[in-house]
Amino acid sequence: MNKVVDHVSEALTGIEDGMTIMLGGFGLCGIPENSIKELVKMGTKNLTCISNNAGVDDFGLGLLLQRKQIKKMISSYVGENEEFERQMLSGELEVDLIPQGSLAERCRAGGAGIPAFFTPAGYGTEVAEGKEVRVFNGKPHILESALTADFAIVKAWKGDTEGNLVFKATAMNFNPMMAMAGKITIAEVEELVPAGSLDPNFIHTPGIFVQRIFKGAVFEKRIEQRTVRKRA
Amino acid sequence: MNKVVDHVSEALTGIEDGMTIMLGGFGLCGIPENSIKELVKMGTKNLTCISNNAGVDDFGLGLLLQRKQIKKMISSYVGENEEFERQMLSGELEVDLIPQGSLAERCRAGGAGIPAFFTPAGYGTEVAEGKEVRVFNGKPHILESALTADFAIVKAWKGDTEGNLVFKATAMNFNPMMAMAGKITIAEVEELVPAGSLDPNFIHTPGIFVQRIFKGAVFEKRIEQRTVRKRA
Amino acid sequence: MALDKIGIAKRIAQELQDGWYVNLGIGIPTLVANYVPEGMTVEFQSENGVLGMGPFPFEGEEDADLINAGKQTITVNPGAAFFDSATSFAMIRGQHVQLTVLGAMEVSQHGDIANWKIPGKMVKGMGGAMDLVASAENIIVAMMHSNKAGESKILPACTLPLTGVGCVKKVVTELAVLEIKNGAFHLIERAPGVPVEEIIAKTAGNLVVPEFVPEMVL
Amino acid sequence: MALDKIGIAKRIAQELQDGWYVNLGIGIPTLVANYVPEGMTVEFQSENGVLGMGPFPFEGEEDADLINAGKQTITVNPGAAFFDSATSFAMIRGQHVQLTVLGAMEVSQHGDIANWKIPGKMVKGMGGAMDLVASAENIIVAMMHSNKAGESKILPACTLPLTGVGCVKKVVTELAVLEIKNGAFHLIERAPGVPVEEIIAKTAGNLVVPEFVPEMVL
């Protein structure tokens, strides 16, 4: 059983029009940028994309939005993307906005075989519309359901040939939960190492959640808000 | 704000008769053995203990059972402990047996502000009695509620002065979830290191979940089933 | 005189307590981190997965893999920890974070807050705000008293889609500190030199004004 | 001749497929790990938090911090991973584990299983068994055909408190391989030299016997 594939095109085999895809990342941090570029090349259409953000106009998922490859976005925050806002307000793009914590927990639930759970987030708002409300300890909660995807595409710092992954700093974000929730999970990594190279005590995503792994060719890692302080 | 205490007796301050306590560990692996011995010394009574197992007759939670300090056990497997079985069958001890995965998830839920979730585990068994049943994707699930505790006591390999913890091998088990679910969480560690000594990328339990931390005086680490193979 | 953004941040920093874990939203709230009272240890959590945030990096030391929830490059202090988004919101939803400070477009006298959407005009999404306001015990809103059109943002009821209901405990604006309880804003403090009349005039919601309203001490 | 425990384990090992993640229960199931077919890679998961279990340690190399769900000291193979109990059962409940092999006191013709309690006599607890049987797509029970009193454990209905309902797909005993479907045990294979009549006699549940019942090839 070999999970390692040599090229992104091989890794993305089987992704078809109309599928649901989860993509890790927060803003442009920790996004599977090689896979996104390949999806542009593939021209796959009518995708439902589950991702916390939608990239910016010319990077990340913004590239797929520009080419109208996305039918529906399931996200929590999309404020950085003008093309997104335009498509959404014009009705070209279906959008399901979800509280960030509920999005994270719904992905984890999907991967963990928990079909639904109660959370206080969104009670009394339009997020709660049509959802069951129940009071626990005097506080109203809404019932949220699990999210899964045909493919989950995540980006890790290092990965081994067994599919074990480790992430760096805040580039971890949604990647571990999405890795759990994909029927097929694809990991693009900066460093691909032999099994046994990673300390088994410090694996963020155990290989059981990963079906395919490849070393990304280029990581541009664009920064959205470069904030610095002057040296004294 | 100093989380570090010098002695186990100081760490356990505030634990009183009748309280609910979570204790990490699987079998005798990864149990907070220094704290358990201190609870024996304190003589605290009528405790409700949430722990996957109940120790053996002369180690771990078995020590508290021998002295009848425990009113109720919430566990998943207690097969190693004869005194436990005797007290349970005679009715001296209240026992709530919970599927292991539900126990783990209920502790996590307690720590994560999820008051209840659906799981397939236990459907159609006595575990499901009195619980709501709902079908998702054609499969019946039962509604399980969160568990929390007045105190959670966990055992870690290393901890820093901020309360960040790392665990070794399978001594991790229930410790991270229980650390989340305690109103006050106490960590006993083998090595206590200054803040900054642990790699922030590889923290198992972030310090936000830990209120008190101390270096255990002695770690006996008893083995239940010593299985070995002969050298060739 | 009305406070500037730094003044608002300084006033909110007075609410901090030693040992607290605090989540700061984008904008004015972020500035609060610069004014932690001397001798106090406060850890800052950012919902994208970091505890123990430090100052911005020196020029040239930015790391694209290390940002805060506002997508700004940051650093971390010794004793920091990184974690995934599910764990991050476990901290928030599980009330392990003692204080949340965030901005708002509107706040109502019942503690409702709106800050994520203007129907037909602007939809950025709620991000982590709905989880934060639904979960935190202690929520302070940092904002201007009025919007750009000069209309009060301190209202009897929110007009915009809600982010959360009955959750805001305190509002700090350029003019005043308001506590929300029993269906009203209670005027606790006023900005140095700002007359009570101005605050009354600029507050659309039910405002309870005590006989003596102390000035903030910054 | 009826199989011994090793024979049962060997037969079950034939069910393995390359690349599968497998959870083995205590007792006979544990032995299955010794008979993975040549050239096949199978990863063993233990619900206390390890993936990639290896053989038992050499004498003197036991580590109290490294055990399996049977509390036995173990080792791990290169590429192993440790994780907490919630993540472990996320793997199980989320159906990332392709095969579960466990023991039982009773199995019914509807796929029900009982293996954790004898009322008034013995209560060890269900451990992870209830999660495993409720979640896995593919559950094989490894057990003796009869109990120590000589009574069949292959029943029309379980008499003991259930561990799970309608979940067991296959049973491998010292006498036979039985597939469970449509409310009956289907006799798929018999142990070498064991007559079909013996299996019929020792099976209390509804048993469907085809004209030709092949012998196991071990």
What is the per-residue pLDDT for A23? 98
Nearest to A169 among C66, C122, C163 (CB): C66
pLDDT one-digit tens code per residue, A32-45: 999 999 999 999 99
Selected residues 82-141 of chain C with any CB under 8 Å from a CB in chain A: 82-86, 88-89, 92-93, 112, 120-131, 134-135
Q: Quick one: tokens of B29?
A: 């692996």
Nearest to A227 among C60, C73, C134 (CB): C73
Instruction: Note whether D touches C: 3 CB pairs or more under 8 A.
Output: no
Label residues D55-66 b or e (16+ Cβ within 10 Å = b). ebbeeeebbbbb
Q: What is the mean pLDDT of residues C108-124?
A: 91
What is the per-residue pLDDT for D120? 82
Low-confidence ranges of chain D (pLDDT < 70): none
Nearest to D79 among A112, A114, A162 (CB): A162
Selected residues 32-51 of chain D with any CB under 8 Å from a CB in chain B: 46-50
Nearest to B201 among A119, A141, A168 (CB): A168
**C-alpha count within 13 angstroms, C-beta hemisphere, residue C54:** 14
Residue B209 at interface with chain C, using a CB cutoff of 8 Å: yes
Nearest to A85 among C55, C67, C123 (CB): C123
Q: Quick one: tokens of B130?
A: 């009195």
Q: Quick one: tokens of A181?
A: 């929730």
Residues B87/B109, Cβ–Cβ less than 8 Å: no
| pLDDT for residue C44 is more than 80 | yes
Chains touching chain A through at least 3 C-beta pairs below 8 angstroms are: B, C, D
Nearest to C84 among A75, A78, A173 (CB): A173
Q: Is the ipTM of this complex over 0.95?
A: yes
| pLDDT for residue A88 is more than 90 | no
Nearest to C79 among B110, B207, B209 (CB): B207
What is the per-residue pLDDT for B64? 97
Distance of CA C166 to the CA centre of its chain: 15
Angle value at C-alpha A38, between A34 and A41, nearest 5 degrees: 145
Q: How far apart (Å, rounded) are the C-alpha atoms in residues A74 and A93?
A: 11
Helices (H), C102-181: 129-135
Mutate to test the interface with A, among D22, D43, D132 (most CBs of A within 10 A): D43
Q: Quick one: tokens of C2?
A: 């009305």
Distance of CA B31 to the CA centre of its chain: 7
| A108 interaction partners in chain D (CB closer than 8 Å) | 90
Residue A88 at interface with chain C, using a CB cutoff of 8 Å: yes
| D80 interaction partners in chain B (CB closer than 8 Å) | none
| B224 interaction partners in chain D (CB closer than 8 Å) | 67, 71
Report the residue of chain C nearest A100, measured CA to CA: C128
Shortest distance, CA C117 to any CA of chain A (angstroms): 10
Contact B170 D46 (CB under 8 A): yes
| D59 interaction partners in chain B (CB closer than 8 Å) | 228-231
Which residue among the candidates C15, C38, C43, C47 is catalytic per the annotation?
C47
Residue D8 at interface with chain A, using a CB cutoff of 8 Å: no
Residue A209 at interface with chain D, using a CB cutoff of 8 Å: yes
Residues A48/A74, Cβ–Cβ less than 8 Å: yes
Report the residue of chain A nearest C48, measured CA to CA: A173
- Does D47 participate in catalysis according to the annotation? yes
Q: Helix D85-93 and helix B100-112: axis angle, to 10°?
A: 120
What is the per-residue pLDDT for A83? 86
Q: What is the mean pLDDT of residues A12-38?
A: 98
Q: What is the mean pLDDT of residues A80-88?
A: 85
Q: Which residues pair with B159 in a beta bridge?
A: B165, B192
| pLDDT for residue C124 is more than 80 | yes
φ, ψ for residue A195, nearest 5 deg = -55, 135
Helices (H), chain A: 8-11, 33-42, 62-66, 82-89, 100-112, 175-181
Contact A121 C131 (CB under 8 A): yes
| A229 interaction partners in chain C (CB closer than 8 Å) | 55-59
The candidate with the shortest Cα–Cα distance to D127, out of B18, B79, C25, is: B79
The candidate with the shortest Cα–Cα distance to B59, out of B75, B43, B40, is: B40
Q: Quick one: tokens of D145?
A: 């055909």
Query: What proportion of chain A, given as a percentage, has pLDDT over 90?
Result: 92
Q: What is the mean pLDDT of residues A139-165?
A: 98
Residue B159 at interface with chain D, using a CB cutoff of 8 Å: no
The candidate with the shortest Cα–Cα distance to D57, out of A198, B169, A196, B174, is: B169
Low-confidence ranges of chain B (pLDDT < 70): none
| A97 interaction partners in chain C (CB closer than 8 Å) | 123, 125-126
Residue D70 at interface with chain B, using a CB cutoff of 8 Å: yes
Q: How far apart (Å, rounded) are the C-alpha atoms in residues B192 and B91?
A: 42
| A125 interaction partners in chain C (CB closer than 8 Å) | 126, 130, 161-165
What is the per-residue pLDDT for A13? 98
Mutate to test the interface with B, among A102, A198, A201 (most CBs of B within 10 A): A201
What is the per-residue pLDDT for C61? 95
The string of DSSP letters for chain D reads: ----HHHHHHHHHTT--TT-EEEE-SSHHHHGGGGPPTT---EEEETTTEEEE-SPPBTT---TT-B-TTSBB--EEEEEEE--HHHHHHHHHTT---EEEE--SEEETTS-EE-SEETTTEE---TTHHHHHHH-S-EEEE--SB-TTS-BSEESS--SPPSBSS---EEE-SSEEEEEETTEEEEEEE-TT--HHHHHHH--S-EE--S--PBP--
Contact B170 D66 (CB under 8 A): yes
Q: Tell the burial category of C67 from Cβ atoms under 10 Å away from its Cβ (0-12, 13-18, 19+).
A: buried
Shortest distance, CA A142 to any CA of chain B (angstroms): 10
Chains touching chain D through at least 3 C-beta pairs below 8 angstroms are: A, B
Handedness of CA C185, C189, C192, C197 (dihedral sign): positive
Residue D31 at interface with chain B, using a CB cutoff of 8 Å: no
Q: Quick one: tokens of D18?
A: 């390359």
What is the per-residue pLDDT for B74? 97
Q: Which residues contact C148 (CB under 8 A, 6 or more apart)?
A: none
What is the per-residue pLDDT for C108? 98
Contact D93 A207 (CB under 8 A): no
Q: What is the enclosing helix (H) or strand (E) of C142?
A: strand C139-142
Q: Which residue has the tokens 């233990």?
A: D46
| B175 interaction partners in chain A (CB closer than 8 Å) | none
| B113 interaction partners in chain C (CB closer than 8 Å) | 90, 92-95, 135
Angle value at C-alpha C26, between C117 and A231, nearest 5 degrees: 155
What is the per-residue pLDDT for B97? 95
Contact C81 B108 (CB under 8 A): no
Q: Quick one: tokens of D170?
A: 């296959």
Contact A203 D81 (CB under 8 A): yes
Residue A37 at interface with chain C, using a CB cutoff of 8 Å: no
Q: Quick one: tokens of A36?
A: 């996104």
| pLDDT for residue A1 is more than 80 | no
Residue D147 at interface with chain A, using a CB cutoff of 8 Å: no
